[in-house]
Amino acid sequence: KVLKGAARKAETPGRRKAVRDCRRYIDQNWEGIMAYWLYPEARLGVSAEAHVSHILAARLSSRPMAWSARGVDRMARLRVAKAN
């Protein structure tokens, strides 16, 4: 109800679209949102693996090359330091 009202009161078409997109996101993820609150013991607390994967994939997938173990380690450390 709150988001429907916000969409109606939005002053610009862009703002209206942003509110609709937010509502759609919440609707599509409602089960996960509820699971987060209903089962606190299952909360992992971090998403480090996803972040690291994203940071490394940006370099390793877009311009693939052969990497030595030492080179991958250094590149990974630099990209993580930059992201942090």
> Mean per-residue pLDDT for 35-50?
72
Residue 63 scores a pLDDT above 70 = no
Q: What is the pTM of this model?
A: 0.45
Task: Give the model's confidence band at 81: pLDDT under 50 very low, under 70 low, under 90 confident, else very high.
Answer: confident
Q: Break the chain into its structural domains and give their ranges.
A: 1-42, 48-83
Q: Which of 10, 34, 38 is nearest to 22 (CA)?
A: 10
Are 2 and 22 spatial neighbours (Cβ–Cβ below 8 Å)? no
Which residues, 6 or more positions from 20, have their beta carbon under 8 angstroms from its beta carbon? 7
Cβ contacts of residue 76 below 8 Å, gap of 6+?
A: 52, 55, 56
Model confidence at 62, pLDDT cuts 50, 70, 90, reads low
Which residues fall within 8 angstroms of residue 38, CB to CB, at 6 or more apart?
A: none
